[in-house]
Chain A
Amino acid sequence: MSEPLLSVNDLEVEFDTYGGTVKAVRGVSFDVAKGETLAIVGESGCGKSVTVQTLMGLIPMPPGRVTNGSATLNGKNILNLPAAEANKFRGVEIGMIFQDPMSSLNPTMTIGDQIAETLKVHRGKSHQEAFNMAIELLEKTHIPEAGRRARQYPFEFSGGMLQRAMIAQSLACSPSILIADEPTTALDVTIQAQILELMLELQRTEDMSIILITHDLAVVARMADRVAVMYAGQVVESGSVDDIFYRSAHPYTLGLKAAMPSNTHDRDKSLTPILGSPPDLFKPPEGCGYCARCPHAMKVCADHLPDIVSVADGHHSRCWLQHEAAPRVDELHQAGA
């Protein structure tokens, strides 16, 4: 594989709170290659949003703190930069869209002005030029009557239209990476599909990479080239989308798949939940974070954090079951997959 566009290594992020220090991200590593879509999946509170927001410098520090790790974009460090430095890549090299488009746009500025603002700041365009480009960007995201829409305010847009406008805004400077932090969670299902379709289309035409954060496995299956499954602040399994769905290695991934509703299942059969709840990240467990909920937990899991082991080429898992000292667990695959 050639030099990755974005490379994150062993990232650790903590938050000081009144209740103590929360270790939100505990050693996350991943690479994003040019033009690919990496999906980061995991349940609420597993640190997926914190990870990408740290990369964008959106975590307020204090109370947040990067205690370890590095992140490079095109070989250049992007962690812990002062605002002036960070602004050279924020909105330029990396665009970002958020979960709730309704509240993610300034209610007192027109949509066009907000998109134009990025162009004025980063590209030094005049207002008129920038505004015209904003209209083009809105057209690119298939907003009808873009010229009229650009002069409207966010409250005059629907949720799906706002997310389109957000995408248009994030594309203003033709970024090489688009980070989408649960972009469809706040939208209803039909609109979801449209937004995802739009993202795929723009990825092709703009030739950009996407980091997609979601907890919706259906979205992952549709969008991703590669997947990183996060649990309790760590990446527990990563690999191609086929690796994750058809050759799942980590018991947590298996658990997620088992919990997914399916149209082939017996309708009377209830879903299979993952029992228990995630560990307290004020005091993260010494061993594997999933140990307490894992049906395959062993003695070693409780006290020793497993290494990341390569299951196959480009497919990694952080589990003792795949450790070379452990026997291959084929029966596990048959049981869960």
Chain B
Amino acid sequence: MLMYTLKRLLAGVITVWFIATATFIAMHQVPGDPLMNDKAVSPEIRANLEAKYGLDKPVTTQYFIFLSNMLKGDFGISFTQQNRKVNDIIRDHFPVSATLGVLAIFFAATGGVLFGALTAVYRNQMPDVVIMFLVILGISVPSFVFAALGQLMLVNINSFFGYSVIPVAGWGTIWHMLMPSLVLGLTTMALLTRLMRSSMLEVVNEDYIKTAKAKGLSPTRIFFRHQLRNAILPVITVLGPQIAAITTGGFVVELVFAIPGLGRYFVQAVQQLDYTVIMGTTVFYGAFLVFMVIVVDILYGFIDPRVRLS
């Protein structure tokens, strides 16, 4: 198990390095640079600034400077925001995005497993038909529509009670987090529901379920001990990439709900070609996602013994 974890971590480091390099190359392929904004900069100032930020050096030198700084954990200073270190931006805003993402994943996973199991138990009956219709809706409707609808719902609830029961936007308390994380997790929840349903239906026909019945176990015990645990494996497999989708895809929801998350800076930086922020946020997100995937893989090893040895 230790060997397995170490191997995964090493592979993770290589992945992050690859992400960093690819982003660096892609970023420098984009025409223009951070200094080329709407204000006219005289050649002298430009030369000075380039010298200051190291942009006058060859790209390969810049790459190695970046790498060595990255290893020291320093991503430099933002080009567009005055006196703000990239590390500070991440430190200030990532916890917000992470909280939102974790909550969203929590909603998605519990909802997905629950509804998926429910639809499998009531296959082709009313609960199944209704939930599966909602699932199609959840997968096909984009999250900004749900975000707006969610907000509208909160407005209606609040005006019904005459005071602000649940805040419509902003960040701070657990009540602020409720609706955005629900909205953010909705698509994933729909996806996991479908996966869980088909997985449950597959497992129910397995021979070992028949064995469990022949052992004289109660239906509830068979459901929880034998069916659910085996059916949940594929759900856990996709959870890793889904965490990726949720934490990076939170940008839209963060915008609609006016949440000061990292997603905004991530997108803004690309638009403004803010080199240091692009590299900082991308590498950070990349590392985070790789880490989450590893965590999921290790978790998977605990649930499915067959994975541990390989």
Contacts and interface: CB of A to CB of B under 8 A. Distances in A.
Nearest to B233: A108
A245 interface: no
A297 interface: no
B221 interface: yes
Given A106-B226, A108-B230, A86 B216 contact: yes
B110 interface: no
A91 B305 contact: no
Contact of A58 (B213, B229, B230): B213
Interface string B225-239: 110011001000000
A104 B216 contact: no
B217 A91 contact: yes
B215 interface: yes
B207 interface: yes
A308 B46 CA distance: 106
Nearest to A84: B218
A105 B218 CA distance: 17
B218 A104 contact: no
B219 interface: yes
A298 B304 CA distance: 60
A105 B208 contact: yes
Contacts of A35: none
Nearest to A154: B208
Contact of B229 (A98, A108, A121): A108
A122 B216 contact: yes
A100 B210 CA distance: 12
Given A98-B207, A100-B207, A117-B225, A108 B213 contact: no
Contact of B208 (A89, A104, A118): A104
A44 interface: no
Contact of B216 (A91, A106, A108, A166): A91
B74 to A, nearest CB: 45
Contacts, number: 82
B305 A90 contact: no
B211 to A, nearest CB: 5
Contacts of B221: 121
Contact of A155 (B215, B219, B306): B306
B38 interface: no
A275 interface: no
Contacts of B213: 56-58, 90
B155 interface: no
B212 A58 contact: no
A106 B218 contact: no
A52 to B, nearest CB: 10
B214 A90 contact: yes
A84 B217 CA distance: 9
A192 interface: no
Contacts of A92: 216
Contact of B230 (A89, A100, A107, A110): A107
Interface in A72-97: 83-84, 86-92, 95-96
A88 B215 CA distance: 10
Contact of A121 (B217, B304, B305): B217
B201 to A, nearest CB: 13
Contact of B211 (A86, A89, A98, A155): A98
B219 A83 contact: yes
Contact of A87 (B206, B207, B217): B217
Contacts of A86: 216
Contacts of B214: 56, 58, 90-91, 95-96, 98, 170
A296 B143 CA distance: 74
Contacts of A98: 207, 210-211, 214
B103 interface: no
Interface of A: 56-58, 83-84, 86-92, 95-96, 98, 100, 103-110, 117-118, 121-122, 153, 155, 166, 169-170
19 contacts: A58-B214, A83-B218, A84-B218, A90-B215, A91-B216, A92-B216, A98-B207, A98-B210, A103-B208, A105-B211, A107-B305, A108-B229, A108-B305, A117-B217, A121-B216, A121-B217, A122-B216, A170-B214, A170-B215
Interface of B: 206-208, 210-219, 221, 225-226, 229-230, 233, 303-306
